[in-house]
Amino acid sequence: MKYSFFLAFFFLISCASVSRNVWLNRFEVCCVVEHSLLRNGDKVEFKEGYFEDEYLKLKSEFDVMEGIKLTFLNKCGVNSYINWDDAFYLDESGNSHNVSFSEISSNLKEKSNISILPPFIEIAANIIPKDYIYRKNDIWMKKTMFDFSFHPQDYLFKKPSLNFYYKCGYLNLKYSLFFYIDKRYPKNQEATDQVPN
């Protein structure tokens, strides 16, 4: 009798653990991050994997571990500039964070926080909030952008954004890149640029 009780108890614990893991895996599989880009408040067209207007092409990827991966192609005809000291990231709770595009390594050095974008050349940058970077045992580490292991539902239907100014000749254009977290899509369906208001 005692053996049967322990066997039943172990079975219930195992099932609870499995169902929780299945739910978390289902969330992570279904979760999708849709992208939308505004320039001075106007929507920028998304086509063939890039946002594109008359000033730039921009490809974006939200990487939970590495931050926001961007690929720029400057269409201005002259060097353009982004001063990341003037940029900010609004997180899922509406908190503002200063950002950096510096590569993080064990020998982090002070670098200019300005991206120089020559015309018609693709330039890649990894952007991460500065307060998501910390030092542990003399090694620079990054916090994950989203932590789905703890209350993953808290991230659903939130719309964080990266906001930066793009200096193109005499123009200083404000771009806002939005990320919308949703779980309503099947595993292999690609995200579109349609972000609900």
CB 156 within 8 Å of CB 182: yes
Going from N- to C-terminal start, the domains of the chain cover 31-182
Cβ-defined contacts of 137-141 (< 8 Å, 24+): 138/106, 139/106, 140/104, 140/105, 140/106, 140/108, 141/104
The number of beta carbons lying within 10 Å of the beta carbon of residue 111 is 10
Lowest-pLDDT choice from 62-71, 86-95, 182-191: 182-191
Mean pLDDT (whole number) for 67-83: 93
Q: Are 178 and 35 in contact (CB under 8 A)?
A: yes
Give me the pLDDT at residue 133, please.
85
Residue 119's pLDDT is what? 95
Q: With 90 as the cut, is the pLDDT of residue 101 above it?
A: no
pLDDT range class, residue 138, cuts 50, 70, 90: confident
Per-residue H/E/C for 68-115: EEEEEEECCCCCEEEEHHHCEEECCCCCEECEECCCCCCCCCCCCCEE
Q: Which amino acid is at 83?
A: N
Cβ atoms of 90 and 58 within 8 Å: the answer is no
Tell me the average pLDDT of the chain.
76
Whether the full predicted model's pTM is greater than 0.85, yes or no, is no
For 152-175, what is each residue's pLDDT tens digit? 667 777 788 999 999 999 999 999
Q: Mean per-residue pLDDT for 51-78? A: 91
Higher pLDDT, 169 or 139: 169
